[in-house]
Structure 1
């Protein structure tokens, strides 16, 4: 199902991309789908109703009349009654950006694309009385989304430290839009706001690094602006639905998340809940109180992060950076979040992670160091909607009017999610079709230019067939002319930095 061309997103890219850069943008997404809660519920309470939708942005070039993918990023949007969470699931490049032969000193188009797309979604998804948090973890890997791309000698694979710095540079300009040292807005922990009614602040945790070492990853950390925008801490307590929650209820569990694996292990320490026995048995059966939801070995968030540094993912000479950007309305009552106004009376969700934590080693096991494109939770995608009949097993069905109507009939806003028309993908796919598109991507090959162009064509055509759209994607021509800088060498060092 194709929606109207995203001219606003097109304009955002065109305004910020360097002059001479020409790309074709493909933006697809899914409708909000009920999923397991990413935050554990406190003892005796039901998990919070949570919805997830996926956004996938593919960027291609056209060096010789053929589409050739150079970059892609997947973002999962989780919404509840009290919080909106944007989670950067994966980002990867193919290394073929060098075919554009951009002049020396050209700012990194991939970083600009990432910053612009994140800012676009943040602006579209902010609710006036809810917090919004952007969350990601930077873990160095040679390829995430494009199989075989590591064989391209032009692909710049960043190491762990380089990748953490890259993502901080991606997020820092977004914080600058809402806060700057010269602004007269409100302050929170040193942060300011240039846009009325919104406070922003960045947070970075690198297990195994002290405050001084962590500061080294943050742009401009030695200046007042960098110190105001960022803290070497985390915002997890502020994100809690209510005060004084157990630590396990403050740590979100995302797909393929190192800290989620540790949380799952710590949960084995929790005793089983035992309720008071019937009165007829009270003399023979001892009464045991319900557990408090707190771990035995880890009793604070600081201790949790300290122990994370000894985990396999964060040790053995490798670093993993956990990054947040928090956007808070000025008028938000800290003592009473909107999510606390109503009781959750619906059936509880499964107490499971959105996807199996070892999903990188399942369907893509034959592709070393790969992870599936699809990682958002959807146990029963759109099960309440009258979509395709299970009796039709076609691998690439063309959606009918009933399916389009079912998606379009979903409300734009409920108490648990916000789904404005303006921020949806040019193509909106059902959850199952989105997963199949992701699985196809992992079966393609981007080892050389010829094969990569063929793989790009197959992926674009598969999405078109599943959505019933013959042609999709929109062209962007960069309009920004950067000022002349004497230190050209310093600029060139960042010109083609690509997340690995």
Structure 2
């Protein structure tokens, strides 16, 4: 079962009568060197996949489609440690779905698809789920916060929501084993920077009431039950790995920015002056050409030496900060003390599945059916974030129509992505100006500073597999899918006590006066 079919199957049991339209974009694997940019050589070979999931809803056959939920995530495959990391970067909704909202069901089905060994598309034994919970009014749907029906969660409620989702996922995993020989080991960790364990537990309330699921308040980088993805052998040479080798570097993640800052922090004495250059000596007997060649060779040697010294200094700086100190100092970061509670959540699922061994013969770079080019996902995401808005039903319906047609057109070989007219016209109105063509890329946080030096990390070997070509057959078989749901709706809430007229009774309490004692 592919990811699209698994997500549609999870939506079939939602209450109410409606029709869902799902678009699932998964890029083919490509080499990635920035998951552990400060790890010592050789770095673990990593392969990256981008995922974008868009769900629209239609209340009836004649109703308009409206985007209701979206997920943006990344999957990192590390074959050397038989591990994979699923990083959920953004989850958003428009607030225009029929109650109950399908966002929770969609998120759990997506995570379960990778956590469950029977459906996991990667031949790995250890699956890690990482996410950073930070409450905002909107993430993937611009201006959706202006819609009156959208009620964004507060900081505490968002952290409690994510804890409930991962708890439900952990409860479902033991009942979804691939076969009797597969054993699952699940570990869950959460940390609210700036709060102690009792404060965090009190803040989240009863977010996890299951007795079968145990949460650990802290980080997972000191445990030894499940191997860490970036370290193949933690006991090699008796040297413990530093934070740059065990904490993954994700885009737009406060941990990554903090690691980058620690690695390039100067000494207390301030920035040192650059070293003096050696004087250029020209041998007149050899001629100017020979002197220039020697000068070029000397400069190359100097650059290599400087780069080696810089990497050595970076490693020394990271080794000075322990994992416990790193998380203690994380509590004072701007992202964690800006007046709102944030949370780091990690879930690890370890299994020893014979099925994974059988699939390990396939090259990690081999594209699978239904996968698309990463550039296609970037164009769709850039169009969603910069060319559409969802403050009302009319504008949301027009944006949904344009973007869904754009995805179909890109899969069919069209080269342009139309952008909705945000100036005031909506669906069905006449336009006086042609639709612009979107070619810009999605804005991102800058890469780690290690890549901005004169010697960036590059992959010398190219991808031996050709880039997959999408078509309408691929679009209909793997990317787009629809599902009609016709289930009983949610039961209406009735008052526990009602009068003869059907209205709830109001009980008025009288205040008893205290009798004064006689003198």
Give the TM interval when normalised to the shorter protein: 0.5 to 0.7
Structure 1, residues 211-232: CA drift from partner, whole Å, max 9, x if none? Answer: 1123343755466334x2x111
Query: Which residue is equivalent to 2:516?
Result: none
Counterparts of 1:258 and 1:48, CA distance in 2 = 22
Query: Which residue is equivalent to 2:211?
Result: 224
Query: Which residue is equivalent to 1:12?
Result: 10
Q: Which has the larger radius of gyration?
A: 2
Query: 1:68 aligned to 2:66?
Result: yes
Structure 1 gap segments, 5+ residues each:
186-192, 273-284, 333-337, 339-410, 490-500
Whether contact under 8 Å (1:270, 1:295) holds in the other structure is no
What is the CA-CA distance between 1:323 and the residue it aligns to?
A: 0.6
What is the CA-CA distance between 1:152 and the residue it aligns to?
A: 0.4
Q: How does 1:18-417 map to 2 (within 5 A)?
A: 18-43=15-40, 45-63=41-59, 64-81=62-79, 82=81, 83-97=83-97, 100=98, 102=99, 106=100, 108-123=101-116, 124-125=119-120, 130-179=125-174, 196-216=182-202, 217=204, 221=208, 224-226=211-213, 228=214, 230-237=215-222, 238-239=227-228, 240-241=230-231, 242-243=233-234, 244-269=240-265, 290=312, 293-295=315-317, 299-330=321-352, 414=362, 416=364
Whether contact under 8 Å (2:189, 2:220) holds in the other structure is yes
Query: 1:438 aligned to 2:401?
Result: no
What is the CA-CA distance between 1:320 and the residue it aligns to?
A: 1.7
What is the CA-CA distance between 1:128 and the residue it aligns to?
A: 6.1
Whether contact under 8 Å (1:5, 1:474) holds in the other structure is no
Counterparts of 1:34 and 1:131, CA distance in 2 = 20
Whether contact under 8 Å (1:39, 1:253) holds in the other structure is yes
What is the CA-CA distance between 1:19 and the residue it aligns to?
A: 4.7
Counterparts of 1:141 and 1:299, CA distance in 2 = 31
What is the CA-CA distance between 1:415 and the residue it aligns to?
A: 5.8
TM-score (norm. length: structure 1): 0.65
Per the alignment, do residues 6 and 416 of structure 1 end up closer, same or farther by CA in structure 2, a change over 3 Å counting? closer
What is the CA-CA distance between 1:141 and the residue it aligns to?
A: 1.2
Counterparts of 2:256 and 2:95, CA distance in 1 = 31
Structure 1, residues 333-372: CA drift from partner, whole Å, max 9, x if none? Answer: xxxxx9xxxxxxxxxxxxxxxxxxxxxxxxxxxxxxxxxx
What is the CA-CA distance between 1:478 and the residue it aligns to?
A: 4.3
What is the CA-CA distance between 1:65 and the residue it aligns to?
A: 2.6
Structure 1, residues 49-80: CA drift from partner, whole Å, max 9, x if none? Answer: 21111121111111343211011011211111
Counterparts of 2:120 and 2:30, CA distance in 1 = 16
Whether contact under 8 Å (1:77, 1:87) holds in the other structure is yes
Per the alignment, do residues 321 and 96 of structure 1 end up closer, same or farther by CA in structure 2, a change over 3 Å counting? same
What is the CA-CA distance between 1:322 and the residue it aligns to?
A: 0.8
Query: Which residue is equivalent to 2:437?
Result: none
Name which of 394, 405, 428 aligns with 1:461. Answer: 405
Query: Which residue is equivalent to 1:368?
Result: none
Specify the SS of the correspondent of 2:152: coil
Specify the SS of the correspondent of 1:224: coil
TM-score (norm. length: structure 2): 0.63
Counterparts of 1:149 and 1:175, CA distance in 2 = 31
Structure 1, residues 129-181: CA drift from partner, whole Å, max 9, x if none? Answer: 5311011101111111111111101111112111111111122111112359x
What is the CA-CA distance between 1:236 and the residue it aligns to?
A: 2.7
Structure 1, residues 309-341: CA drift from partner, whole Å, max 9, x if none? Answer: 111100021222111110112589xxxxx9xxx
What is the CA-CA distance between 1:36 and the residue it aligns to?
A: 2.2
Counterparts of 2:121 and 2:96, CA distance in 1 = 34
Structure 1, residues 276-333: CA drift from partner, whole Å, max 9, x if none? Answer: xxxxxxxxx9xx995582436952211111111111100021222111110112589x
- Return the structure number with greater relative CO, CA threshold 8 A, min gap 6: 1
Counterparts of 1:151 and 1:483, CA distance in 2 = 27
Whether contact under 8 Å (1:66, 1:453) holds in the other structure is yes
What is the CA-CA distance between 1:453 and the residue it aligns to?
A: 0.6
Whether contact under 8 Å (1:139, 1:319) holds in the other structure is yes
Query: Which residue is equivalent to 1:475?
Result: 482
Deviates more, 1:475-484 or 1:296-305: 475-484
Per the alignment, do residues 318 and 418 of structure 1 end up closer, same or farther by CA in structure 2, a change over 3 Å counting? farther
Query: Which residue is equivalent to 2:465?
Result: none
Per the alignment, do residues 218 and 28 of structure 1 end up closer, same or farther by CA in structure 2, a change over 3 Å counting? farther
Per the alignment, do residues 60 and 140 of structure 1 end up closer, same or farther by CA in structure 2, a change over 3 Å counting? same
Structure 2 gap segments, 5+ residues each:
235-239, 273-304, 413-470, 497-519
Moved over 6 A (4+): 479-489
